[in-house]
Every structure is written in C-alpha cells, then in structure tokens.
Structure 1
Amino acid sequence: MGHEVRPCSVAIGLGSHDLGVADATADLYHRGMVPLIVFTGGNSPTTRERMPRGEAEHYRSRAVELGVPAEAILVEPRACNTGENIRFARALLEDQRVVVRSALLVSKPYEERRAYATARKIWPEVEWLSASADATFATYAQTIGDTRLVIDMMVGAQQRLIMYPEQGFTVPQHVPADVRQAYERLVADGFTSRLVAQ
C-alpha cells in the first residue's frame, strides 16, 4: 500500500504460510517502530504440516531466533481468518490492558490492502499502517517456492477485496479497471484454487 512506516503502539503479525511475516515484524521491532508484537494465527490447510504448533507459535519462535525478547511478544493461537486475527488480537491486547492508538499490520505483501480493509472495518478507532517484506514478485515467489500457489493466493485476495465490502467484512477499496481485468484474466486461466464460493 506504500504506507510510510513510523512508530506505533503495537505490531500485529498476521499468521499464514509465510514465515517472512515474522521476519518483517521482527525487523520493525529492531528498528524501534513498536515496543510490542502480537502474532496471531492457528492453522489452515496450507500450514498444518509446515507449522504444526500453529502459525503464531512458529512466528514467535522465529522472532525470538531473530533477537526479539520473548517478553515483547504476545501470541494469539486461535484465529483462522483475517477477521479473527483482528478481533482476537484486539481482545488479547484489551485483556493485557495495552492501549492501542496505532498499529503496524504486518502481512504477506499481496495481503496488505485486504488486511488493512479488514482491520479498518473491525477496529476503526485505531490508525492502521500496512507493512510487509519489501520484495519483487519474482523474489517473493522464489522465497515461497511455488509460483502457482502465490498467484492463486493473489487472485483469492483480490476476489475477497472485491466481494467482502458487500458482505460487511471490510471497508471498500478502489479496484482500478486494469486490476479487475487482470484478475478476471487469471481466473479464466485457471488460477482459482484460493477462490471462495460466491
């Protein structure tokens, strides 16, 4: 989304198959952008085997490996989707009596906009800034090791960005005509494994 990163109350790292989210969140901590991290996420079909202890737990372990103090990390281990990531992280922070005025929302690069739209809908009182690893598509796909999966995930994220505002899950986001056309072309070409039924 091109948000300029600046110091915030907390970083919320959204669970997924991409351990790079933990790396990006740890980097933000080391740069002094946040005093506290919440990693949120249970498991999904794409993470059950790779992260058997749950996404948030694996993220926490990775961040500690990268030098983040364990006491600077809270773990929310139940969320199964982005809406739950935000709701459950909010409940955890409120339970810990952490005052949140601004938050760095750390996700996969192609999920920044949808995560932001979800967070704005669910927790509008917070000033949200999106952040992710800085990588080209080619570099990111190589890191994940499955270009087809990355494209499928991007197409699924775009579908949700289009349809979720009508369902009340996110605030609306402008989708330029060329982006919509590219999305429709990719769907027609069979990149559909991460689409949800309409």
Structure 2
Amino acid sequence: MLHDRLASGLARVRIPDSATMIEDEATNSGANITLSRQLLLQAGIRPKSVMLIAMPFMERRAFATCRAQWPEVDVICSSQPISFADYLASCADPRHVLCDMVGDLQRIIEYPKHGYMIEQVVPGEVHAALKRLIVAGYDSVLPKS
C-alpha cells in the first residue's frame, strides 16, 4: 500500500522509476534511515544532504533519528502543508493519530538515552501535556520499556 502511494506520488511529480530506489525492509524509523543509507552507498551514491518526507507530526522525530543515525548529512524534513485540524479531519481515526503523537513525543524524550536519536529540548509544559494525554488514555503507541 505504501509503495503504491509512493509510486503514485512520484508519477505525479514526474520522477521516473529509473531515478528512484525504495527501501522496504525496515520495521522502524532508525532502520529505515540506516538501510536507506546502505542502499545509496551500495549504488555509489554519497549524498551531502537528504530530505525526509514524513507525516506532519513525525518531522521532529525523523530529523532527530536521522541526525543520530546519519550524522554526516544535512537533513531537511518536510510534510504535507496542512493545518493540524485539517490533518486530523483527513484521518480515518483521529484518536490513533493523537496516540501516535504521544508515542512520538515519548520517543523524542527517551530514545536519545539509547543513541537512537539526538537529544532535543522539550519544554516543561510539553512534558506536562504529555503526562496529561497519557493519563487520558492516549497511550496505545507508547514505546516498550
């Protein structure tokens, strides 16, 4: 499904199949970056910069992960230009999106301790909001301890 959507998007902007490489083995963001890097290196491609396309709420985590896993490249993150309200309205399950966001924020806080991401400043009020959301039950996508 994701591959089909990606192919459709590439066709819309007229990027030929011969100019694309798809990494489809990863099971998490860190592995996706590491395996994409290996794929490019095997093809003799050594980029100075990379652009990560992510869901709007995942840009910060994607950036932090890439900076830790591939520190020698400049990283640019992008997503669909859409308001939060419009993004939620476009999703089949807005509650799941909120759970994803809670999980992403928890990863941004915890994963630098394991070397999976670079550390980022998370303000105290954001920590407090995270706790309130977890208590309210938006906890189905939290990382495993």
Does the TM-score normalized on the shorter chain lie above 0.5?
A: yes
Counterpart-to-counterpart distance in 2, 1:197 and 1:77: 23
The equivalences for 1:105-144 within 5 A come to 105-144=52-91
Find 1:99's aligned residue among 22, 46, 52.
46
Answer with 59-68 or 105-114: which moved more: 59-68
**TM-score of the superposition, structure 2-length normalised?**
0.93
Give the share of equivalent positions with the same residue, in percent: 36
Question: Higher helix fraction: Structure 1 or Structure 2?
Answer: 2
Amino acid at match of 1:60: L
Give the superposed CA RMSD: 1.2
For 1:112 and 1:84, the matched residues in 2 are separated by 16
* Per-residue CA distance 1:132-190 (angstroms, 9 max, x = gap): 11111111112222110110000000010000011111110110111111111100100
Q: Retained in 2: the 8 A contact 1:106–1:130?
A: yes
Aligned to 1:39: none
Per-residue displacement from partner, 1:34-78 (whole Å, max 9, x unpaired)?
Answer: xxxxxxxxxxxxxxxxx2xxx3x2243222441332122111110
* Cα distance in 1 between the residues matched to 2:60 and 2:90: 21
Q: Which residue of 108, 111, 114 corresponds with 1:161?
A: 108
Question: TM-score, normalization: structure 1?
Answer: 0.69
Alignment correspondent of 2:7:
61
Q: SS of the counterpart of 1:74?
A: coil
- For 2:99, the equivalent position in structure 1 comes to 152
Does residue 129 of structure 2 align to residue 182 of structure 1? yes
Matched pairs, number: 144
> Counterparts in 2 of 1:45-56, with a 5 A limit?
51=1, 55=2
Please say if residues 60 and 75 of structure 1, whose CA atoms lie closer than 8 Å, have aligned partners that are also in contact. no
Structure 1: distance between partners of 2:6 and 2:58: 20
Contact 1:60/1:73 (CA < 8 Å) preserved in 2? no
Distance change >3 Å, CA 68–CA 144, structure 1 → 2: farther
State the distance in 2 between where 1:64 and 1:126 align. Answer: 23
**Quick check: which one's strand share is greater?**
1
